[in-house]
Structure 1
Amino acid sequence: MTANASGAAEIRGALVRLRRATGLPVAFGGLVEPGRPRVRISELTGTATLALSALAVTSGNGLGGKAVALARPCAVTDYSLSRQISHEYDAAVAAEGLRSVLAVPVVVRRRVRGVLYGALRTAQPLGDRTLGAAVAVARDVEQALVVREEARDLLAAARPEPADGDAATGAAWEQVREAHAALRALAPRITDPALRAELLDACGLLTAAAAPTPARAPAAAEGVTLAPRELDVLTCVAAGATNATAAARLGIAPETVKSYLRSAMRKLGAHTRGEAVARARRTGVLP
């Protein structure tokens, strides 16, 4: 899935959550077009017409453009009569019959990446509770986009294990391993099942990129399969975490960490933590 496609899918899901969280009957939104200061409305839910579909909202223009320019949420009680915004898009808004509208920017690393809108077909104030709920949904989108970008960067950086003596590349590979461990620890805290699965898939691709040739894998360890939590714990241990640190990262008890680690060591035929990590890497269980 391309970055734009995954971002659009995230916006689509966010609009459903926005309607549920705010009670607003209409929601729409889209991403900032690459290299252009405008948002293309690509996702609609609860609309009665296609008047807003594919609408290009330029930064500074209309309610959404104001949210992009200021990088903060904006709302109006009666769109067509508001003096707080410009009115380039009144025809499309009127065709859909919208009156009260809010626009919340999706800001990733200080850059606006998209806008989420919610709207009513009656003119009434949108309170702080409604705006706060919409902002919370936008923050979820921001987190999801950050995680996706970090996973993509890791995949781009992943390379097979460098030859001995290549210290610079070896250091870079260690950074990839550390980042892999951080993302693996983050995955259980992601509430969106699709995003969590995508993140774990990215971790799997990182591991595959470092997978050894069959000749390097010890025969005794062939076919090793670790349970997700066993792999989580071993990933933390490989990054140098103590049992207590691994427990804090993963949100489980230290004794549970010990139990998963013992189980992983048994499956790998290892007698120490270091040996377990080494065998896991040689067999392609860890990057």
Structure 2
Amino acid sequence: MTADPALLRPRDSDALRAEIRRLAGATGVPVFFGGEVQTDTLLLSEFCGIRTNGLRGLSVRRASGLGGQVLDSRRPAAVTDYRSALSITHHYDGPVLGEGIRSVLAVPVVVEDRSRAVLYAAMRGPDPIGGRTAEALLQAGRRLASEIMIRDEVDRRLRLLDAAAPSPAAGGALAEEIRAVQAELHTLADGYADTQLSTALRGIGDKLARALSGPAAPEAPRLARREIDVLVQVALGCSNQETAQRLSLGPETVKSYLRSAMHKLDARSRHEAVVAARRFGLIP
């Protein structure tokens, strides 16, 4: 039986909130906000620097206002004077102008040609959003898109596993597929220079693994992250050379991590190390 995907997938709104906080800390722009797209409607839910409640919970329809335009076109857009802008509709003048906002930049979070969220940076004066802030907002949108794409792929695989495992006899194949997914997520995480995204990807993979194996036993030896990565690959049947290629490590480095893990697990062979690591709940 597979785990409930709702328990495995972190809330996308949490990732959105983290990006907004990061932007607020890295720039001098006073207002950031954003929201997820649900059924072609943008729901504003995350804010930093607002003074009123007018924008909280606002539903922005496709092609309406600046955010709706960005949602529809899947391209960034900006206005330097919201009140008099001719390039957008003015369905939301009340809450926007009530907040004192004049200059706004909106960036879509696009995954597989569909807007999944929108991020905003805003000023209360007439100055346009600067290039440094614009680039930071674009980077935040790309990070969110990458993270949502990975989360979608995990959900897709879980649905496939549910469909492909109708009986207990399929349990072994199901477990192997979950292990493979965790290994792929760890490998993807190592390819990102962005620490927050890398940590998030590893976290998703580890939650998926814990759904299969349960939490680590209290008496489990403490293995280094790379030692666990190597054992996961060995558990999938990979040779040292294949493990090295998958993890972008040298073969001798893989051997070193494997020897260290075997020593900590009191194992005399690769197979014993994998069995022991699974018994302790260190790998799925």
User: What band does the TM-score fall into relative to the shorter chain?
Assistant: 0.7 to 0.9
Match of 1:52 in 2: 55
Amino acid in structure 2 at the alignment position of 1:60 = A
In the TM superposition, residue 169 of structure 1 has moved relative to its aligned partner by: 5.8
Q: 1:93 to 1:3 in 2, by over 3 A?
A: farther
Tell me the percent identity. 41
**Structure 1 residues 26-75: Cα deviation after superposition (integer angstroms, max 9, x where no partner):** 00111113xx3211111111112222111110011010001100112111
Q: 1:11 to 1:70 in 2, by over 3 A?
A: same
Instruction: Find out whether 1:192 has 2:196 as its counterpart.
Output: yes
d(CA) in 1 for partners of 2:215, 2:171:
13
Query: What SS does the aligned partner of 2:11 have?
Result: helix
Query: Between Structure 1 and Structure 2, how many residues are aligned?
Result: 271
Is the deviation greater in 20-29 or in 141-150?
141-150
Contact persistence 1:155–1:206 (CA under 8 A) = no
In the TM superposition, residue 89 of structure 1 has moved relative to its aligned partner by: 0.8
In the TM superposition, residue 248 of structure 1 has moved relative to its aligned partner by: 5.0
Query: What SS does the aligned partner of 2:32 have?
Result: strand
In the TM superposition, residue 150 of structure 1 has moved relative to its aligned partner by: 4.1
Instruction: Find out whether 1:208 has 2:213 as its counterpart.
Output: yes
Query: What SS does the aligned partner of 1:192 have?
Result: helix
**Structure 1 residues 125-148: Cα deviation after superposition (integer angstroms, max 9, x where no partner):** 334443222110111122222333
Query: What SS does the aligned partner of 2:126 have?
Result: coil
Q: 1:175 to 1:2 in 2, by over 3 A?
A: closer
- TM (norm. structure 1) is 0.78
d(CA) in 1 for partners of 2:29, 2:245:
38
Amino acid in structure 2 at the alignment position of 1:233 = V
Match of 1:10 in 2: 15
Q: 1:122 to 1:249 in 2, by over 3 A?
A: farther
Instruction: Find out whether 1:73 has 2:69 as its counterpart.
Output: no
**Structure 1 residues 217-237: Cα deviation after superposition (integer angstroms, max 9, x where no partner):** xxxxx9553513211111122
Query: What SS does the aligned partner of 2:195 have?
Result: coil
d(CA) in 2 for partners of 1:51, 1:81:
20
In the TM superposition, residue 240 of structure 1 has moved relative to its aligned partner by: 4.0
CA RMSD of aligned residues (A): 3.4
**Structure 1 residues 253-283: Cα deviation after superposition (integer angstroms, max 9, x where no partner):** 4433211101222344444434533554466
Q: 1:255 to 1:207 in 2, by over 3 A?
A: farther
Instruction: Find out whether 1:132 has 2:144 as its counterpart.
Output: no
- TM (norm. structure 2) is 0.79
Query: What SS does the aligned partner of 1:87 have?
Result: coil
d(CA) in 2 for partners of 1:195, 1:5:
9
Instruction: Find out whether 1:225 has 2:221 as its counterpart.
Output: yes
Amino acid in structure 1 at the alignment position of 2:196 = D
Q: 1:37 to 1:226 in 2, by over 3 A?
A: same
Amino acid in structure 2 at the alignment position of 1:198 = G
Match of 1:89 in 2: 92
d(CA) in 2 for partners of 1:242, 1:122:
61
Match of 2:273 in 1: 276
Structure 1's consecutive aligned runs of 4 or more residues displaced over 6 angstroms after TM superposition are 1-5
Contact persistence 1:154–1:206 (CA under 8 A) = no
Structure 2: where are the runs of 5+ without partners? 1-5
Amino acid in structure 1 at the alignment position of 2:37 = V
Is the deviation greater in 143-152 or in 259-268?
143-152
d(CA) in 2 for partners of 1:139, 1:235:
29
Q: List aligned pairs for 1:166-185, cutoff 5 A.
A: 166=169, 170-185=172-187
Q: List aligned pairs for 1:144-159, cutoff 5 A.
A: 144-152=147-155, 157=161
Amino acid in structure 2 at the alignment position of 1:91 = G
Instruction: Find out whether 1:43 has 2:46 as its counterpart.
Output: yes
| 1:118 corresponds to which of 121, 125, 128 | 121
Q: 1:177 to 1:3 in 2, by over 3 A?
A: closer
